[in-house]
C-alpha cells in the first residue's frame, strides 16, 4: 500500500493507558501530526484504574515511521502504557448510530431488514428511524450501504475499541475483521529506502 | 513546612535542584519572580540581551557542565524568543529547564496583552511542558521538570507560570518522591539483547563503532575506550559524538557523512559489524539508507527505542543507558586484535588525506582551526555556529579532551555560537573557551557580547569572516549552477571596532603569519576577545557527500 506521495503506508492498532490530565489529547494528536501519522479512528474513555483513561487508536502513516508509533507514544510522559496490538489476536468492536429516512411504506421494511443484523432501533420519528449497531467495520459498512437505499441521513461512529483476547485460541480475527486487510506487512530489508533527507543547509 | 509565595517556591525549588545560575530577561508576567531574586543571592542571574541568548546559554552551560541549564523569560514575546533555543536543545537532547511567566489566570484564553499559548507552541520542541495553575503545585512540577529534563534521553522542559501564581501563597514542602507513572527511563539492558550484541561483536572481522552524543550524555568515555581497546575496534564518532573519544588515539577514525572524513565514511562502508552507540543514524551520516554500510550487521545501542529502525534497519537493538550497557557488554566481549582490519583503516587514512589543506598564500579557515588546535594542544572547549567554519572546526581541531565540542548538530542553528560559548564559559570558569563563528551566525546573536562584557566572561571569539553565508555560496556553486543569490554580506561591520564598542578587545588577522600570534594574544588576555580572521574568498568544504547520496558519490577534493 502506498500513499499519495508514493511512500509505503502502514496501519497500526494501538491501545494506550494515559493519565487523565488537561492537554493529553493535544499532546498525542500533536505528536501524530508531526510524525506524519493519520488517526483513522480514536476512542477514549475512563479505564478500570482511577485517573487513567484508555485510548484505542487506528493509525496510518509511512510504514517505517508508523511501526514506531507505540515507541513514540511511550515517550510521552503522561502515557503510562502502550500496546501495539496490530498483529495480535484481538477482539474489537465499534458502535454506530445510523439515522435513516423513512416513509410509511418503507418503515416496516427497514425494521425487518435491520432485524437481520440484530441491531436495536433506538428512535422512531415521523420521517426517520435511528438504529444502533455494534460490530466490526465490515458489518457496520454493509449495513450503512444497505440503508443508503432508503437515504441515510446521519452516521455517528465511535471509532474502534480493541482488546487482546484472553482465550488460548490462536488466529487473528473474530470473523468480521480481516487482520490481513489492516495489519501491516513487514517488508524487511537492510535499508528503508531513502531517509527523509531534509535537503537543508 | 512554611508558607511562601509562588515566586519564592520557584527559587527554593531551583536551589533544591542544585541550580546556581540562571540566564534570563524579565517582563511583566515574570516580574513577581524577579521580585524574589534578591532574597536568594545563591541564584546568580545573568541578564541576557535577547531570550534566544538565554536559551542557548542555558544549553551551552548544560552541555559543558552536564547539569541542567536554566532560562527565565516573560510571557508572549519573551517566551517565543526562547523557541529557537528550545528546539536546538530538543534536537540535540540537551537538558534545559525554561521558566516562563504567563498572563494572570483570569486572562488566559482571552488574548490578553502579551499572552501566547507557549505550552501549545512548544509541544513539539520540548520533551515535556507544564502550565502551573496553583502555587501549591510549583514545587512538585519543578522537581518533575528537572527529573524529566535530565534523565533518560534528556531534553528541554518548559514550565509556564501565570503572574498571579507567582504571587499566590502556598505551603512549601519540597516533595521527596515523584509521581510519574508514565515515565520510566531505561537503565541496564535486557540480558538477551546484550547476548545478541556480544555475538555480533565477537564474530566480527571488520567491526567499527559509531559513537554518538549519547556517549557524552551518559559520560561513558572510559567504557567506550575500554570496548574499543579490548577488541581493537576502530571508533568513528558522529558530529555530536566528537570529543567522546580522544582524536589522538590510534583507533580514532574521525567523523563520517556529508562533510566528514572520507576514511570514516569508508570505514562504515567496509565494515562487517557496525556498533552504533548513542547515535540516531542522522540523514547527514546515512544519506541513502539503501546503500548505507550494506555489508554490516548492525547493533544499535540507545536509550530511546523510538530511534530503533527509524532511519536504518538494524539487526540487534539494545535499549538502555549507554554507560550501563557498555558495563554489561565489555566483560563479555572477547579480546581481539583485528590486525588486518586496523591496517586496512590505516591504509584508508593514508589513501584519503581528507584533511589536506590546499597550499596557498591566502588565509584559509582550515589553517586558522589547525593553528588553534596546535596552540591550544587540542584542549580548549570549542563552540561553533553552523556552516563552513563549523565543518572546518570539526575536521581540523584535534580534540583530546572529553566533552569539549559544542555545536548545534540536529537543528543547525546559526547564532548558537555567541551565547552558547557564554554559557559554556560560565560552566567552566577557569577554562579556555573558543567560539568559532561565521560572520553570518555571529551577527545573529552578537548582542550577547554585552552580556559577555558585563559578566567579564573571557570567551575568545574567532570569526572566520568570509563576508558571505559561506555554506550557502558553496551549495549554490555545487547544486545551483553558481547562481549566487543572497549569499554575500557586502556591508559587514568592522568587527574589531564592534568589539571595542562593547568594551571587548578586538584583533584583526589578514595574513597567515599573524594567526598564531593573534591566538596567543587572545589566550593571554584575561578578558573576552574577538578575533576577526579575514578570509578574502569563499572556499569549499571538502570532502562532501551530496545530500541523500552515499560514499560512492563522495567528492574528496575541489572539482
Ligand atoms: C538560523 C539559521 N538560518 C539559516 C540557516 C541556513 N544556513 C546554513 S549555513 C548558512 C551560512 C552560514 O554563514 P556563516 O555563519 O557566515 O558561516 P560560513 O558558512 O560562512 O562559515 C546558512 C544561512 C541556518 N542554518 N540557521
- Please check whether residue A20 touches B, CB under 8 A: no
CATH number, domain containing residue A80: 3.30.70.260
Could you say which DSSP state residue B446 is in? G
Task: Please check whether residue A201 lies inside any domain of the structure.
Answer: no
- Helix, strand and coil content of chain A, in percent to the nearest 5, comes to 25, 35, 40
Rounded to a whole number, what is the distance in Å from the CA of A179 to chain B's nearest CA? 24
Return the minimum-mean-pLDDT range out of B115-129, B344-358, B487-501, B511-525.
B344-358
Closest by Cβ to A201, choosing from B290, B306, B472: B472
Give yes or no: residues A121 and A34 share one domain.
no
pLDDT at A6: 57
On the question of pLDDT at A185 being above 60, the answer is no
Contact A197 B548 (CB under 8 A): yes
Distance between CA B374 and CA B244 in Å, rounded?
A: 19
- Clarify whether residues A32 and A46 are in a common domain: yes
Same domain, A83 and A99: no
Average pLDDT on B439-463 reads 98
Q: Residue A196 pLDDT > 80, yes or no?
A: no
Q: Which residue of A has its CA nearest to B121?
A: A30
Residue of B386, B435, B492 with the most ligand 1 atoms within 8 Å of its CB, for mutation: B386
Query: Average of pLDDT values for B440-459?
Result: 98
Residue A3 belongs to a domain:
no
Residue A113 belongs to a domain = yes
Supply the residue whose CA is at minimum distance from atom 24 of ligand 1: B414
> Is residue A186's pLDDT more than 90?
no
Confidence of residue A164 (pLDDT cuts 50, 70, 90): confident
Q: Is the pLDDT of residue B504 over 90?
A: yes
Are residues A101 and A81 part of one domain?
no
- Write down the pLDDT at residue A7: 57
Does A1 map to a domain?
Answer: no
Q: What is the mean pLDDT of chain A?
A: 81
Lowest mean pLDDT segment, chosen from A54-58, A134-138, B31-35, B295-299: A134-138
Question: Confidence band (pLDDT; 50, 70, 90) for A166?
Answer: confident
Same domain, A26 and A100: no
- What pLDDT score does A1 carry? 52
pLDDT confidence of residue A160: 86
Q: What is the CATH number of the domain that holds A155?
A: 3.30.70.1150
Higher pLDDT, residue A48 or B384 = B384
Is A200 contained in some domain? no
Residue with the smallest CA separation from ligand 1 atom 8 is A201
Residues of the domain holding A95: 90-194
Examine the domain organization and report whether A111 and A63 are in the same domain: no
Q: What's the number of CA atoms in the CB half-sphere (13 Å) around residue B420? A: 36
The reply to whether residue B123 touches residue A75, judged by beta carbons under 8 angstroms, is: no
Report, as an integer, the average pLDDT of B162-177: 97
Q: CATH number of the domain at B191-351, please?
A: 3.40.50.1220
Check whether A173 has a pLDDT greater than 50: no
Return the best residue to mutate from B394, B469, B532 for the ligand 1 pocket (most ligand atoms within 8 A of CB).
B469
* pTM for the predicted model, two decimal places: 0.92
Work out the percent of chain B whose per-residue pLDDT is above 90. Answer: 97
Q: Search chain B and give the residue with CA nearest A18.
A: B182
Section B538-549 average pLDDT: 93
Q: Is the CB of B472 under 6 A from ligand 1?
A: yes
Interchain CB contact of B140 with A (< 8 Å): no
- Interface A-B, measured as beta-carbon pairs within 8 A, has a size of 91
Domain end point (choices A65, A88, A111): A88
Question: ipTM exceeding 0.85?
Answer: yes
Tell me which of A63, A88, A113 is where a domain ends. A88
Residue with C-alpha cell 528546539? Answer: B87
From ligand 1's centre to the CA of B7, what distance in Å? 39
CATH number for the B365-541 domain, one of 3.40.50.970, 1.20.1250.20, 3.40.50.880, 3.30.70.520?
A: 3.40.50.970
Could you report the per-residue pLDDT of B264-298, keeping only the tens digit for each?
Answer: 999 999 999 999 999 999 999 999 999 999 999 99
Min Cα distance B363 → chain A (Å) is: 24
Is the domain of A135 the same as that of A186? yes
Residues A70 and A32 in one domain: yes
Q: Do A172 and A80 belong to one domain?
A: no
Mean pLDDT of all residues in B229-234: 98
One fold for B191-351 and B365-541: yes
Claim to verify: residue A96 and residue A76 sit in the same structural domain: no
The residues near B491 (Cβ < 8 Å, ≥ 6 apart) are none
Say yes or no to pLDDT of A179 above 90.
no
SS3 state of residue A55: strand
Looking at the predicted structure, is the pLDDT value of residue B58 above 60? Answer: yes
- Note whether B313 contacts A192, CB cutoff 8 Å: yes
Q: Look at residues A88, A109, A134 and tell me which one is the last residue of a structural domain.
A: A88
List the domain boundaries for chain B. 2-172, 191-351, 365-541
Q: B42 near B20, Cβ under 8 Å?
A: yes
What is the pLDDT at residue A175? 35
Enumerate the residues of chain A whose CB falls inside 8 A of the CB of residue B124: 30-31, 34
User: Please, what is the average pLDDT of chain B?
Assistant: 97
| Residue B559 confidence (pLDDT) | 61
Per-residue pLDDT at A190 exceeds 70: no
A42 touches chain B (CB under 8 A): no
Q: Which of A165-169, A175-179, B487-491 has the lowest mean pLDDT?
A: A175-179
Q: Give percent of chain A above pLDDT 90.
A: 45
Look at chain A and report how many structural domains it folds into. Answer: 2
Whether residue B388 has its Cβ less than 6 Å from ligand 1: yes
Closest CA to A139 of A124, A153, A119: A119
Alpha-carbon distance of B374 to B380, in angstroms, equals: 10
CATH of domain B2-172: 3.40.50.970
Assess whether A105 and A173 both reside in one domain.
Answer: yes
- If asked whether residues A116 and A37 sit together in one domain, one would say no
Amino acid at each position: 500500500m502506498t500513499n499519495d506521495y508514493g511512500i509505503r503506508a502502514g496501519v497500526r492498532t494501538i491501545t494506550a493507558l494515559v493519565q487523565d490530565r488537561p492537554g493529553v489529547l493535544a499532546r498525542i494528536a500533536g505528536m501524530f501530526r508531526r510524525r506524519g501519522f493519520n488517526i483513522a479512528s480514536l476512542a477514549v474513555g475512563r479505564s478500570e484504574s482511577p485517573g487513567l483513561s484508555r485510548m484505542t487508536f487506528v493509525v496510518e502513516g509511512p510504514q517505517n515511521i508508523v511501526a514506531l508509533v507505540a515507541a513514540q507514544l511511550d515517550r510521552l510522559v503522561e502515557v503510562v502504557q502502550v500496546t501495539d496490538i496490530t498483529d495480535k489476536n484481538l477482539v474489537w468492536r465499534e458502535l454506530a448510530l445510523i439515522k435513516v429516512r423513512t416513509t410509511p411504506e418503507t418503515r416496516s421494511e427497514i425494521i425487518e431488514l435491520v432485524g437481520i443484523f440484530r441491531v436495536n432501533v433506538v428512535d422512531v420519528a415521523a420521517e426517520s428511524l435511528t438504529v444502533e449497531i455494534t460490530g466490526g467495520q465490515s458489518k457496520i459498512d454493509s449495513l450503512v450501504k444497505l440503508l443508503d437505499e432508503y437515504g441515510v441521513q446521519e452516521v455517528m461512529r465511535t471509532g474502534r475499541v480493541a482488546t487482546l483476547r484472553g482465550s488460548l485460541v490462536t488466529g487473528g480475527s473474530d470473523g468480521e475483521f480481516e487482520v490481513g486487510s489492516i495489519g501491516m506487512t513487514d517488508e524487511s530489508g537492510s535499508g528503508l529506502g531513502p531517509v527523509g533527507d531534509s535537503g537543508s543547509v | 513546612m512554611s508558607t511562601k509565595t509562588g515566586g519564592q517556591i520557584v527559587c527554593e525549588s531551583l536551589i533544591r535542584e542544585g541550580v546556581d545560575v540562571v540566564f534570563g530577561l524579565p517582563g511583566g508576567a515574570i516580574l513577581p519572580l524577579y521580585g524574589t531574586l534578591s532574597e536568594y543571592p545563591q541564584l546568580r542571574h545573568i541578564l541576557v540581551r535577547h531570550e534566544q541568548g538565554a536559551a542557548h546559554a542555558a544549553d551551552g552551560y548544560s552541555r559543558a557542565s552536564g547539569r541542567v541549564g536554566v532560562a527565565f523569560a516573560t510571557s508572549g514575546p519573551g517566551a517565543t524568543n526562547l523557541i529557537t533555543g528550545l528546539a536546538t536543545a530538543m534536537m540535540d537532547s540537551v537538558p534545559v529547564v525554561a521558566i516562563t511567566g504567563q498572563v494572570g489566570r483570569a486572562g488566559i484564553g482571552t488574548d490578553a496583552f502579551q499572552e501566547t499559548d507557549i505550552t501549545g507552541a512548544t509541544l513539539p520542541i520540548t520533551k515535556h511542558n507544564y502550565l502551573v495553575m496553583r502555587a501549591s503545585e510549583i514545587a512538585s512540577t519543578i522537581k518533575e521538570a528537572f527529573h524529566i529534563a535530565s534523565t533518560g534521553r534528556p531534553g528541554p522542559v518548559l514550565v509556564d507560570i501565570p503572574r498571579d501564581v507567582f504571587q499566590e501563597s502556598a505551603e512549601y514542602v519540597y516533595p521527596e518522591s515523584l509521581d510519574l507513572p508514565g515515565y520510566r527511563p531505561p537503565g541496564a539492558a535486557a540480558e538477551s539483547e546484550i547476548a545478541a550484541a556480544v555475538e555480533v561483536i565477537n564474530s566480527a572481522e571488520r567491526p567499527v563503532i559509531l559513537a554518538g552524543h549519547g556517549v557524552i550524555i551518559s559520560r561513558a568515555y572510559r567504557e567506550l575506550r575500554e570496548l574499543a581497546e579490548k577488541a581493537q575496534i576502530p571508533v568513528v564518532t558522529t558530529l555530536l559524538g566528537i570529543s567522546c573519544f580522544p582524536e589522538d588515539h590510534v583507533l580514532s577514525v574521525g567523523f563520517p557523512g556529508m562533510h566528514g572524513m572520507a576514511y570514516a565514511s569508508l570505514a562504515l562502508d567496509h565494515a562487517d559489524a557496525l556498533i552504533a552507540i548513542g547515535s540516531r543514524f542522522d540523514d547527514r551520516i546515512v544519506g541513502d539508507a539503501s546503500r548505507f554500510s550494506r555489508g554490516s550487521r548492525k547493533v544499535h545501542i540507545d536509550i530511546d527505542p523510538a530511534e530503533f529502525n527509524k532511519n536504518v534497519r538494524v539487526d540487534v537493538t539494545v535499549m538502555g543507558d549507554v554507560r550501563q550497557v557498555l558495563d554489561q557488554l565489555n566483560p563479555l566481549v572477547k579480546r581481539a586484535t583485528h590486525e588486518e582490519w586496523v591496517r586496512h583503516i590505516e591504509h584508508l587514512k593514508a589513501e584519503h588525506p581528507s584533511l589536506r589543506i590546499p597550499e596557498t598564500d591566502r588565509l584559509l579557515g582550515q589553517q586558522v582551526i589547525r593553528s588553534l588546535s596546535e596552540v591550544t594542544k587540542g584542549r580548549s572547549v570549542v563552540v561553533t555556529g553552523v556552516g563552513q567554519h563549523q565543518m572546518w572546526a570539526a575536521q581540523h581541531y584535534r580534540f583530546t579532551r572529553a566533552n569539549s565540542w559544542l555545536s548545534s548538530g540536529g537543528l543547525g542553528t546559526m547564532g548558537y555560537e555567541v551565547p552558547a560559548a557564554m554559557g559554556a564559559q560560565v560552566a567552566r570558569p577557569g577554562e579556555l573557551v573558543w567560539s568559532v563563528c561565521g560572520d553570518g551566525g555571529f551577527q545573529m546573536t552578537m548582542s550577547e557580547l554585552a552580556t559577555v562584557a558585563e559578566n567579564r566572561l573571557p570567551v575568545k571569539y574567532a570569526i572566520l569572516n568570509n563576508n558571505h553565508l559561506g555554506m550557502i555560496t558553496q551549495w549554490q556553486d555545487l547544486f545551483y549552477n553558481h547562481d549566487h543569490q543572497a549569499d554575500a554580506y557586502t556591508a559587514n561591520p568592522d568587527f574589531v571596532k564592534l568589539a571595542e564598542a562593547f568594551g571587548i578587545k578586538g584583533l584583526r588577522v589578514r595574513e597567515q603569519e599573524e594567526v598564531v600570534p593573534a591566538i596567543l594574544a587572545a589566550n593571554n588576555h584575561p578578558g573576552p576577545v574577538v578575533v576577526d580572521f579575514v578570509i578574502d574568498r569563499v572556499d569549499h568544504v571538502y570532502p562532501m557527500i551530496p545530500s541523500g547520496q552515499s560514499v560512492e558519490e563522495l567528492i574528496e577534493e575541489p572539482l
